[in-house]
Amino acid sequence: MQDRSYNALVVMEKGDNTYSREVQLKKIKDLPDGDLLIRVQYSSLNYKDALSASGNRGVTKRYPHVPGIDAAGIVEESNSEDFRPGDKVIATGFDLGMNTSGGYGQYIRIPAEWAVHCPQQLSLRESMLYGTAGFTAAQSVDKLINFPVRPEQGKILVSGATGGVGSIAIAILTKLSYRVAAVSGKPEAESFLNQLGAEEIITRQQAANLSGKLLLREKWAGVIDTVGGEILATAIKSTAYGGVITCCGNVASPELPLSVYPFILRGVSLLGIDSAKCPVHTRKRIWQKLSDEWRIEYPDSQVHDCSLPELSGIIDEMLLGRHSGRVIVNLL
């Protein structure tokens, strides 16, 4: 087994701060130590993967490297009492695909606490329709519901609406009878967002108020923000009294130009969402919800299946902001 070769998308440093990617043969014996050896069948593409695949040292410190923060597959070897060979498992977060060889390889070896059993209602491919993006979206919705923010209180604003987190959040919220306003910079995505259930579509320019006002008219019962920066600041200033905002991304900016007034005059709450180190008991609960009461019908036209050799080109499209929907990577 240890001498067996497998295919992986490897990112290599070429020098002069440039990087290349190619599918290479790797050896199982060269994988890091861990409790579980998993034969990966499917992975997915997240923005963090695209950063790792382009040499971002804030995500991945050492190259050559195999990205892929998501993996779904079959346990082949186990040193854990919680998993047996043949078990279907999902692995997301922690250090997978960051500095530990990730899901863009046909095998991974990881600690047992990085994996959860795939719910019976989900196939391994379906689990990667969600991946880290869907898991993060579900965490955000979970925070809103348990705050609580109820459907009758008003609309929920979702930024980054055509991305993985935003689009899945819209679909889950719609299924749970919330009314959703979606922020998007892609006019061509209107039909897609309407299919997901968005009732209102707002441009990025409309979503970022640059007037400098410390408070704005109350518009949102809650917000799921995936981008940060001025859009997040505007959303906080526009959230109704007692509302809640979740924050999980900074693709627009890590800065938050804001005063304390929305918090001390309107009692709004800003809740951070982290999926990488989310505890196992929460992971199990969220994945069970995604397989059952929160299970969504995602538009087929926005699900892109690709092979390892095709993945590099799609990564480039994502980095240029030209990609929407979900990418499922087939490693079979």
Residue 109 has pLDDT above 70, yes or no: yes
2 pLDDT higher than 70: no
**The pLDDT of residue 16:** 78
If you count DSSP H runs as helices and E runs as strands, how many of each does the chain have, helices first? 9, 15
Q: Is the per-residue pLDDT at 1 higher than 70?
A: no
Tell me the residue length of the chain: 332
CA 121 vs. chain centroid, Å, equals: 21
Q: How high is the pLDDT of residue 237?
A: 98
Domain ranges of the chain: 5-118+299-330, 133-272
What's the average model confidence in pLDDT over 181-207? 95
Per residue in 8-29, pLDDT (tens digit) is 999 999 877 889 999 999 999 9
Q: 188-195, long-range: CB within 8 Å, 24+ apart, which pairs?
A: 189/161, 189/162, 189/324, 192/162, 192/167, 192/299, 192/301, 192/302, 192/324, 192/325, 193/161, 193/162, 193/167, 195/299
Q: How many C-beta neighbours within 10 Å does residue 254 have?
A: 9
Q: Is the separation of the CB atoms in 62 and 52 below 8 Å? A: no
CATH 3.40.50.720 fits 133-272, yes or no: yes
H-type helices in 147-278, by residue range? Answer: 164-175, 190-196, 204-207, 229-238, 261-265
Residue 247: CA count within 13 A, CB half-sphere: 22
pTM: 0.94
pLDDT at 125: 97
Which secondary structure element, helix H or strand E, spans residue 224, and what is its range? strand 220-225
Burial class, 141, CB count within 10 angstroms (exposed 0-12 / middle 13-18 / buried 19+):
buried
The pLDDT tens digits for 232-286 are: 999 999 999 999 999 999 989 999 999 999 999 999 999 999 999 999 999 999 9
Per-residue pLDDT at 127 exceeds 80: yes
How many CB atoms are closer than 10 A to CB 99? Answer: 14
CATH of 5-118+299-330, one of 3.40.50.1970, 3.90.180.10, 3.40.50.1100, 1.10.287.1080: 3.90.180.10
Is the N-terminal amide bond of 148 cis, ω within 30° of 0?
yes
